[in-house]
Structure 1
């Protein structure tokens, strides 16, 4: 991870923050004035910048403006002992992540820096995925209709409502609409209204003033302010609480809103794109969704087809995801036979493109050979019947081309005849729901106690798994689990007294190493994938001697 930069002419402040961040295993670099910060930015970049507002040789507000010109996504926290309104307003208008008045509680200051680091890491991951995504082309007629609509909307700021089943890729369409709009240089801010508790959602959307409620230690900008000049994507809008729908309607009507606890109206120049998997007309009839808000959102509606409605895209998608998973895991890409593809094409995919991506990730880890056959598919696909009449023969069978060529990704956003559409990758693969253990000939079942952590690190299902007994050492989890099993037998036969501790250390080290490889060394993300805390992974790395 890149270091946290601290800019403050007060040596005591620098010393206290340096020591506190070092205890949190966060790298630190300190500066005494803005000039040195700007000079350092020529060769380096911080994960987060924490800057005083008044320093010799320049203002923290001026430094904030210059930093934001070069690194718009960099979180900057402004500190000051002069807690006046003008300073706070200037900081937030300049794009500061937060405003930290002195004297501050050290624990809360570190929590704030941690929150900024997490935000920065998420932005880094999104940027990497966006850069790695190729230009794409959807072959199914249903997706061509979507591409044409996106092309026609490319120079418009009109409100759009995206509908479609879960996993179809609605956020990716929103990204494409933003990227090809006049607001492309502005921020794209997304919020899932169904994933945030009702009591917090209002503050997340509109922000809050200091002291507005218990725990509101500082003023916080909401998503509308963060998206000023850009696009705000409201996912799962059908689940928004009824009383908040009223506030949202007012913002859409006149562009004005109040922070929680605020008394002065704020304006935000924001384009709203909403999405839902629900039938909003039915929600209106049930009295769960405001009719006037529905009509305000439903200016242009884009419906994303389910994957079962565009089966001809499944082979290309499957090959793309197998290559993508192989790159992420650092292994050779699996190939898939026509018979296995026929079963994929016949499957209805209730989880849509996201489910197909998860299955391809699962196959990359668990398939025993380099060519995936029908018997290697996960249990939920074993009962699908290939389409009659040799339908697969008419589907595209060429391998995925290099980065610049045409393939379909989640929601099949791509370069239509009207407009090329680079899009971001889907979110991290989730678990493939399955409760049935399976075992192909020549395999030995491994208990879930051993398999679940491996599955968690790789982002696949934690149900009982099978690992090929005769698999080569390089075949993902199977190889090193088999080696570990052989070593366990040898140690048990030798009568060694510390077998448990010895093997546990090896197992934990391998799990952490695998997770860190997947996250390119980012410990916070690796801990999240493993289901442990950031302090736990740091302690384990030190105990296992992995940071030497």
Structure 2
């Protein structure tokens, strides 16, 4: 499916790269470098899709989109931005954008988004807007968190059930709260219930409430969490620990939208949005007969997988400074991190994830003797031997290699011993490295080769071997 795409960005290299990718995908491309040029193009062209940056030299792309879509409500807009925050992602969908891509973005992802936008527009569906939302509170600029932001931004305006998975301490309740706070139910209660913290025999009473005399000790009627959350969001944490009998009742409520309290006969309407979370692998529990398959599918309408902190190490400095600032705002001494302390924090495995990092920063704010925290203080506080400092880039690369090996172990376990791992890893790394350098240098082969430390002929051979296509016009650009 091809169409006319208007691309707006003040960076000439990005315009060139994006245009080349879209042309290869069969689209006609119009370019603009500013808001003024955007309006000039729209005066004489009728694009099928608009792709725009947020920060433009003469205006804000999101404000332009909001104004533009009042006159052209059927125009799908894809927004990309280097301001990689949840607030930006939500604001993009709030003004009516079809999709949001954080910079730097994968060109394949962009072409897929353009195809999807064309398909949706030509299907006759023109309402891409999301209801009013407030600022988000999640922190992180890593690619893994950008994907979380994209999903959250898409679900805040509807009542779809969300299942958040992730290790303990990754911030599952924070994501659930963001979905509530940014959505149309934000003025109603957000009620959380941790299944692992409630005695099994009391879970149904906690969820659905109970009548006076329903069981020994029930002296009065008590509303359950479903009633308390009426009109708002019910967050069911650690759903994997829910007993089977309670799972059956929850399933009936999700199917019918109604329930009765324990010992009651009156039917009560369940006017809540359900967000569930787990640190367990629910599909494995289903296979083991410990979790209902039909309930899993009812909950897993929109899955959000939160990355472990070791998988988003580049966010560690941002998070650490944020927690120190928050501690100072609560009255604890203000502290700063030395560069070697940041490298040490990035190298640590963080088994307790973001919660462990927050607790560490609060402890350092309260107990560290010096105003500036160095690596030795970090190591001493963590227990010394738990940290092996290394360059932050090396730490992230090591994490990526382990993730790659884990993927091979899960999908092709026989490959772990067949003697091909070295060549396969080098091959898997070489292609994205070359693609990344070409993108950074506007697809100019000479500049990319210099940055890689190889000559242009070697780069050309590797491009041919790897099947990487280069637009000849771009390759003949300045300096080539």
TM-score bucket of the superposed structures, by smaller chain: 0.5 to 0.7
Query: For 2:223 and 2:260, how far apart are their aligned partners in 1?
Result: 11
Do the aligned residues in 2 keep the contact of 1:374 with 1:382 (CA within 8 Å)?
no
Do the aligned residues in 2 keep the contact of 1:163 with 1:302 (CA within 8 Å)?
yes
Which residue number corresponds to residue 367 of structure 2? 366
In the alignment, does 2:383 pair up with 1:380?
yes
What is the TM-score when the length of structure 2 is the normalising length? 0.52
Which residue number corresponds to residue 191 of structure 2? 189
Give the C-alpha shift of residue 342 in structure 1: 0.9
Give the C-alpha shift of residue 221 in structure 1: 0.5
**Partner-residue secondary structure (3-state), 2:197:** coil
**Partner-residue secondary structure (3-state), 1:215:** coil
CA deviation string 1:269-309 (max 9, x = no partner): 11111000000000001100001100111111000001001
Which residue number corresponds to residue 229 of structure 2? 227
**Partner-residue secondary structure (3-state), 1:219:** coil
Give the C-alpha shift of residue 326 in structure 1: 2.5
Do the aligned residues in 2 keep the contact of 1:242 with 1:290 (CA within 8 Å)?
yes
Structure 1 regions of 5+ residues with no counterpart? 1-130, 395-548
Give the C-alpha shift of residue 356 in structure 1: 0.1
Query: For 1:163 and 1:138, how far apart are their aligned partners in 2?
Result: 18
Do the aligned residues in 1 keep the contact of 2:163 with 2:276 (CA within 8 Å)?
yes
**Partner-residue secondary structure (3-state), 1:190:** strand
Give the C-alpha shift of residue 332 in structure 1: 2.9
Which residue number corresponds to residue 98 of structure 2? none
Root-mean-square deviation (CA, aligned residues, Å) is 2.2
Aligned residues: 262
Do the aligned residues in 1 keep the contact of 2:313 with 2:396 (CA within 8 Å)?
no
CA deviation string 1:94-126 (max 9, x = no partner): xxxxxxxxxxxxxxxxxxxxxxxxxxxxxxxxx
User: Which of these residues, 142, 164, 167, is aligned with residue 166 of structure 2?
Assistant: 164
Give the C-alpha shift of residue 134 in structure 1: 8.1
What is the TM-score when the length of structure 1 is the normalising length? 0.46
Give the C-alpha shift of residue 182 in structure 1: 2.0
CA deviation string 1:47-95 (max 9, x = no partner): xxxxxxxxxxxxxxxxxxxxxxxxxxxxxxxxxxxxxxxxxxxxxxxxx
**Partner-residue secondary structure (3-state), 2:196:** coil
Give the C-alpha shift of residue 383 in structure 1: 3.8
Give the C-alpha shift of residue 214 in structure 1: 1.4
User: Which of these residues, 244, 247, 269, is aligned with residue 246 of structure 2?
Assistant: 244
Which residue number corresponds to residue 147 of structure 1? 149
Specify whether residues 387 and 155 from structure 1 end up closer, same or farther in structure 2 by C-alpha distance, changes over 3 A only: same
Query: For 2:218 and 2:269, how far apart are their aligned partners in 1?
Result: 22
Give the C-alpha shift of residue 388 in structure 1: 3.7
The higher-RCO structure (CA 8 Å, 6+ apart) is 1
Query: For 2:150 and 2:160, how far apart are their aligned partners in 1?
Result: 16
**Partner-residue secondary structure (3-state), 1:210:** coil
Specify whether residues 338 and 210 from structure 1 end up closer, same or farther in structure 2 by C-alpha distance, changes over 3 A only: same
Query: For 2:395 and 2:163, how far apart are their aligned partners in 1?
Result: 34
Specify whether residues 306 and 392 from structure 1 end up closer, same or farther in structure 2 by C-alpha distance, changes over 3 A only: closer
Query: For 1:322 and 1:232, how far apart are their aligned partners in 2?
Result: 31
